[in-house]
């Protein structure tokens, strides 16, 4: 499928999509939502910790021994000198009120079905762990936006923490409807029957939640091409307490039954084969053109060598110990970190490590313009090895040399991305990269990145499906579906 597809978008939709004020407001909203999601991720990490579980068990036992309102409860509070517990309004309880009727998204799904006339194009449903936040840059979001730009209708099904949380339906004009996954699971037939007039329907499953069993079976039975897009090593996320829902037997089931399986790197492809799936294709991550542009300078104090990182500063994979040790050994260098999070309590950061916090996506290139080298300092563990950091492609698009630990360079980028281990190797690689600058080297890095846009990744996936690779041709023959 060609990268450039004649637009089926009405002129007024295109003008609204290109409105810079509208885009800045959307980015500010996405930033706020991203900060909320980061806080929720942190809460999930805390709740998964052994200390939290022990404390929760203690208070559960105390509620049984001394329930609120009982004489034991009153005695316990008197002995502790505590005030009587204040009553909690129902509306403030965790989860709040379910206003699903007021926010019913199904009419928007039906509206998109009616407004789309190009039924020769595929319709797509995406099951995603993340919300449709363009500023977050996640693969399901970027694929949804790219497919919608080509005129493909998209049902973007997002994970939410509480039933009162709703995505703003601000992409209907672009052909994207946003549906909470829990609502889809409650009414699977509504999604399964959607876009029935299209010659081809594609369901992209971006994470293997066991609750998808019946939905995936129904999608298969209705003739949808079911794609499992393997983005991470979910078993490892489960091991570190983040994907608590993970169930290996279901992932095996999803892998063996999918019509097509894509992974973001060779490490995950090998794991997929170990789980019993032979046919798999690697389609790496990408970047969104325009992110590399500097709109207004953001000057930073420079060091003898200046290096930087942007992204989520998750303790599960970010190697704080490595970075702190490297900074101590090179006090004349400066290290800038942009993103959510901070160093764990047991790590003391030297003064030449500067935390800039979360910054708007459109400002990242301006900050990175001060750096000699871009970094991906992840822990040398299985969790990081399964990742294909989007930031690597974004760094290269900005023309920066990249030094990584824990992860692997994208295929073909080995001349621009140096993988190393240990503090001394990390420092040596940064020093070497900082010395090898120049216009030609920068242009070569940017040329490589130019072939790794989300449009190229969408082409790779859609072309493989269009050719009937893996088991897609079998599904079409079985369901008697033309391309």
Average pLDDT over residues 52-63: 59
The string of pLDDT tens digits covering residues 204-222 is 999 999 999 999 999 999 9
Q: List, in sequence order, the alpha helices (H) in 49-175.
A: 50-65, 71-80, 106-115, 139-149
Let me know: does 293 contact 365? Beta carbons within 8 Å: yes
* CA dist 318 → 321, 383, 388, 448 (Å): 9, 11, 14, 26
Q: So where are the chain's domains?
A: 23-81, 102-286+457-479, 306-452
CATH topology of domain 306-452: Rossmann fold (3.40.50)
Q: How many CA atoms does the CB half-sphere of 292 hold within 13 Å?
A: 22
Q: What's the token pair of residue 334?
A: 């400066």
Q: In angstroms, rounded to a whole number, what is the distance separating the alpha carbons of residues 217 and 287?
A: 33
Query: The domain 102-286+457-479: what is its CATH number?
Result: 3.40.50.11010
pLDDT of residue 361: 92
pTM confidence score: 0.81
Q: In angstroms, rounded to a whole number, what is the distance separating the alpha carbons of residues 145 and 151?
A: 10
- Do domains 102-286+457-479 and 306-452 share one topology? The answer is yes
Average pLDDT over residues 193-200: 95
Helix (H) or strand (E) holding 201: strand 201-205
If we measure between CA atoms, which residue out of 289, 282, 338, 243 comes closest to residue 464? 282
pLDDT of residue 20: 59
Let me know: does 340 contact 35? Beta carbons within 8 Å: yes
Measured from the Cβ of residue 71, the count of other Cβ atoms closer than 10 Å reads: 8
CA 127 to chain centroid, in Å, comes to: 12
Q: What's the token pair of residue 223?
A: 């003739």
Give the CA radius of gyration of the chain: 24
Q: What's the token pair of residue 483?
A: 């391309």
Query: Between these two residues, 344 and 390, which has the higher pLDDT value?
Result: 390
Q: What strands lie across the sheet with 353-357, from one edge to the other?
A: 353-357, 334-338, 306-310, 373-377, 402-405, 417-419
Q: What's the token pair of residue 185?
A: 């699971």
Q: In angstroms, rounded to a whole number, what is the distance separating the alpha carbons of residues 217 and 195?
A: 17
pLDDT of residue 15: 42
Taking all residues of the chain, what is their mean pLDDT, rounded to a whole number? 86
- pLDDT of 63 strictly over 70: no
């Amino acid at each position: 499928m060609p990268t450039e597809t004649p637009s089926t978008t009405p002129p007024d939709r295109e003008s609204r999509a290109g409105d810079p004020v509208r885009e800045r407001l959307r980015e500010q909203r996405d930033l706020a939502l991203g900060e909320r999601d980061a806080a929720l991720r942190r809460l999930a990490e805390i709740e998964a910790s052994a200390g939290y579980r022990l404390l929760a068990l203690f208070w559960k036992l105390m509620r049984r021994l001394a329930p609120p309102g009982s004489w034991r409860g009153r005695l316990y509070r008197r002995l502790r000198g505590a005030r009587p517990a204040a009553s909690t309004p129902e509306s403030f309880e965790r989860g709040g009120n379910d206003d699903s009727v007021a926010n019913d998204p199904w009419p928007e799904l039906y509206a998109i079905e009616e407004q789309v006339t190009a039924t020769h194009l595929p319709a797509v449903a995406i099951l995603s762990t993340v919300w449709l936040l363009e500023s977050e840059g996640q693969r399901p979001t970027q694929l949804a936006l790219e497919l919608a730009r080509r005129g493909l209708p998209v049902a973007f099904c997002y994970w939410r923490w509480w039933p009162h949380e709703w995505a703003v339906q601000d992409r209907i004009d672009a052909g994207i409807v946003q549906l909470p996954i829990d609502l889809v699971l409650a009414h699977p037939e509504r999604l399964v029957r959607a876009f029935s007039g299209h010659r081809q329907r594609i369901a992209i499953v971006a994470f293997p939640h066991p609750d998808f069993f019946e939905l995936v079976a129904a999608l298969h039975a209705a003739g949808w091409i079911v794609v499992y897009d393997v983005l991470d090593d979910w078993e490892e996320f489960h091991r570190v307490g983040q994907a608590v829902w993970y169930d290996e037997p279901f992932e095996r089931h999803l892998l063996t039954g999918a019509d097509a399986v894509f992974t973001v790197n060779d490490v995950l492809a090998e794991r997929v084969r170990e789980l019993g799936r032979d046919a798999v294709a690697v389609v790496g991550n990408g970047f969104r053109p325009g992110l590399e542009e500097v709109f207004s300078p953001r000057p930073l104090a420079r060091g003898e060598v200046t290096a930087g990182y942007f992204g989520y500063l998750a303790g599960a994979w970010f190697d704080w110990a490595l970075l702190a040790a490297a900074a101590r050994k090179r006090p004349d260098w400066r290290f800038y970190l942009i993103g959510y999070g901070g160093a764990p309590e047991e790590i003391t950061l030297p003064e030449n490590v500067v935390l800039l916090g979360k910054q708007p996506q459109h400002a990242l290139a301006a900050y990175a313009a001060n750096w000699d080298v871009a970094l991906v300092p992840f822990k040398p563990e299985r969790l990081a090895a399964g990742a294909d950091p989007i930031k690597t492609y974004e760094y290269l698009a900005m023309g920066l040399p990249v030094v990584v630990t824990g992860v692997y360079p994208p295929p073909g980028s080995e001349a621009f991305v140096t993988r190393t281990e240990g503090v001394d190797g990390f420092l040596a690689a940064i020093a070497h990269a900082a010395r090898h600058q120049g216009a030609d080297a920068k242009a070569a890095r940017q040329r490589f990145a130019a072939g790794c846009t989300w449009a190229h990744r969408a082409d790779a996936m859609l072309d493989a499906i269009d050719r009937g690779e893996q088991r897609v041709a079998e599904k079409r023959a079985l369901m008697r579906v033309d391309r």
